[in-house]
Each structure stands twice: as C-alpha cells, then as structure tokens.
Amino acid sequence: MTRQSTIALLGITLLLSGVAPMVQAQTPPAPESTVTPMTQALELYNTGVSRFDNGDYSRAIADFNEAIRLRPDYAEAFMYRGAAYSELGELGEAIASLNEAIRLNPTLARAYILRARAYYELGNTAQALADAREALIHDPTLADAHLYKGLVALQEGNNTLAVTEFTEAIRQRPDETSGYLLRGFAYSRVANYTGAIADFTTVLEQEPNDVVAYIGRGAAHYNRGSLDAAERDFDTALRLNQGLPNAYYNRSFVYAAQNRPRRATEDLNQAIRLNPDFVPAYVGRGRLLAFQQSHALAIEDYTRALALDPNTVSAYQYRAESRLALNDVPGAIADYSQAIALDPNAAPLYKARGDAKLRIGDTFGALEDYDQAIARQPNYSAAYSARGRLYANLGDAQRAYDDLSLVIASSTPSNSVDPDVLYTRGQSRLRLGDFAGARVDFERAAERYLETGQAEGYRRTLDQLRSL
C-alpha cells in the first residue's frame, strides 16, 4: 500500500451539528391586567429556547408550534423550530420552517446559516453556499458562514479557498475549535501537514477527547512519514472510542508502511465489522491481499466494494491489476474501461489499459491509449516511454526517437534513466543512420544496466556495441 492521503472528512457535517440560532431569549412586556397572546407566545418561545439548549428538541418544537399558533409572524420561533428539526434529522421540516423565518424576516442572518447546514447535509452544496453568502451580507461577523463556505470549497476540491474560509472563521472566533479542526483537514488536502498537525493540536489542547482531531493528526503524521506519532494518535482515538471504523482504517496504513501486513489486515477486518458498507476498507484490504499475491481474494474485495459503490474508480483500477496478475487480460481491459468511463481525464488509466492491450497484441489500440494519456498529461514520461518503445517495435524510428528523447530529457537526476529507454533509442538512432549517437546511447545503457544489476541487458548492449 502506497502512502496517500487517507482521511476523508469523516462525516464532517456532524462537526457543526451544534450550530444554534444564537438568538437571545426575549423579555415579555410588563404585565398587564390580562395575559395576551403576545405574552403567551413570548413565554412559550423562551421555554422552547431553554429546552432546545438542553437538547430536548421534540418538546422544544411543541413549544415553538404553540408560540407560532399564537403569533403567526414570529420569525424567531420559526427559526428555532427549524434548528430543532435539524437536530432531529428532519431536514425537510427544518428547511420549511427556515423558509418561513426568512420570508417573515429576510435579514435574519442566523436563519440562512441554519438553512445552509440543512441543504449541505442533503447534498445541495450550491444552495448551502448561496445561503452562507446571504448570511454574511446580513451579518459579516457570522463565523459559521465561513465554515460552510469552506466545507463547500473542500467538497468541490478548492482546498486553497477552503483554507482561506476556515482561517477567516478562526479570526472571527479564535476560541471555537471547529475552524481549527476543519482547517486541519484542509491543510492536509494541500499537503501542509505541519499546519494540519498544529491545528489538530490546538483542538486537542481545548478538547483532549476529540477523536476526530486525533484521527486527523494521525493522518497528517503518517503523510509526513512520522509513523510512530501517527500510530500513537490512532491508538489514542481507539482508546477513547473503540467503535471508530475510520480509525482502524487509517491505522492500517501505518501498519502496512511498517511492514506489518497482519496487523494492517486485522484493522481493516475490524473496520469492516464495524461498518460492513465501508467501501475504502474493502479496497484497502484488497490492496494488502494483492501485495501478498493473493489476487483472487483481492478481486473478491474489490468486487464487494463495487457492489456497494459502482462509482469507485480505484476498485476498478486495482481489480484490473489483480486480473492482469492472474492473466485475465480481457477482464483487466474491461475494468480499466469502466474506470476511464468514470474518470475520463485520468491519464494513468489510459496508459495502463494501453499496456494491457499490448499484452494481447492490440498494437494500435495500445497506441491510441498512449496518445490519450499524453493528451491528458503532456508531461507523462511513462506514457512517452511506452509509446516510444511501441513505435520502435513498429519500425517508426523517428517517432520512437522523439518520444524516448523526451523521456531521457525529463529524467531527474540524469543518471536515473531507464536503461531500456537508452537502449531502444540507440536502436532507433541506428535505423536513422546516427551511428555516433547510437554508440553514446548504448554506452550509457550499458552503464545503467550494470548499475541496476541487469546482467542480460548489459550483455545485449555489449553485443550491440561490438557490432558497431
């Protein structure tokens, strides 16, 4: 298993689930000779706010309902009722109440941010973003609006913007940990692992039992190569809560990097036991099995992942690799094609499919895929190398020379060039009549074969040199 970013947002909407309307309880007017509907509505509203603050959301809703019955234009009661519905997961009812609050008072900034939360949890990020922006128009100090803008930016892959939004939220509310937590994940997305570790540490200084912060910091340590520190953080998270599939999943990467595949597999098994629909865990376990040459079992895990989520590109890709290992080339090509259909701009997928096509003699299909890979990633050295060698096999010496020259020129350091590339360009130069250039390439190829311990390649190159 290769080092990669292993933290998803861990259901990050839950991190903001405590967003409260932040409207003060209201003071009833001075008592008169009789109780009026207005004073009754105010008393019910205040009781509802108190119950909301204590987590008694169902009874709070009943109070807000009665307050609204007595005073149908009570925008704040609609807003609080919407917040209570959100806490109960009744997002449709929440949005309906918040819509009414906004209709009655279009400047009620907190209602917009509460509706943004509901829309975000429903996956409607465009409306969530629009509401967060509208909230800031009416209250530029509303830090939660920046948090939601940052969450939408993260989901859209605009990680730099996410960092900016979370930083602004922190500036406005430096004592609130949500901004640091979310910025920690955003920093990880832009490979600023030092910044991520600092933010997660800030959270843990204030909330030492925050398991999400331990998982996030552990992932950042892992990506920095600090495996022991990563393991400690995942261990702590699991000590605090043994029911965290994400913690087991992420710790498995540490164990794999430490060459402890049995422990890594145990963690992935536990992640799957806790969450049988955990697609990344099946893919990760498949990768471990493939690494141990258990490709048939790996294919079972990838197939299970795809049954759960047919849009998992990595599962198609890795299943293709295992199928190739079992000489099921047509099956591998089919999997690569599925992956490409889902991610048509992924140059490595085209290159891999081209390699597979070449194994069954589909020369021109392979050439087309190498072209597609290069079109999508013009600096893709491996694709130029594969295409250059294929041109050489087809007898197109000039195109082979051109592609392989690009590979050699882009190799850094220069003494790291694949000796096969040097050897094949030397052959192309021979065909083009450049005998001096061919000799130079063969001499460099012989050196590289010797350095890399490839005896057969070294002997073959010496034979070419003797024939010049």
Indicate if the pLDDT at residue 5 is higher than 80. Answer: no
Q: What is the pLDDT of residue 15?
A: 42
Average pLDDT on 373-394 reads 97
Question: Domain map of the chain by residue range?
Answer: 1-21+35-190
- What does the pLDDT read at residue 52? 94
| Confidence at residue 20, expressed as pLDDT on a 0 to 100 scale | 53
Confidence of residue 56 (pLDDT cuts 50, 70, 90): very high
pLDDT bucket at 31, cuts 50 / 70 / 90:
low
Stated pTM of the model: 0.82
Q: Taking each helix axis as running N to C, give the angle between helix 245-257 and helix 227-240, from 0 to 180 degrees, rounded to the nearest 10.
A: 160
Is the pLDDT at 459 greater than 60, yes or no?
A: yes
The predicted-structure confidence for 324-338, as pLDDT tens digits, reads as follows: 999 999 999 999 999
**DSSP letters spanning 263-307:** HHHHHHHHHHHH-TT-HHHHHHHHHHHHHTT-HHHHHHHHHHHHH
Q: How far is CA 303 from CA 176, 214, 249, 366, in A?
A: 43, 31, 19, 26
Domain spanning 1-21+35-190: which superfamily?
Answer: Tetratricopeptide repeat domain (1.25.40.10)
> Cα angle at 42 between 112 and 51, to 5 degrees?
70
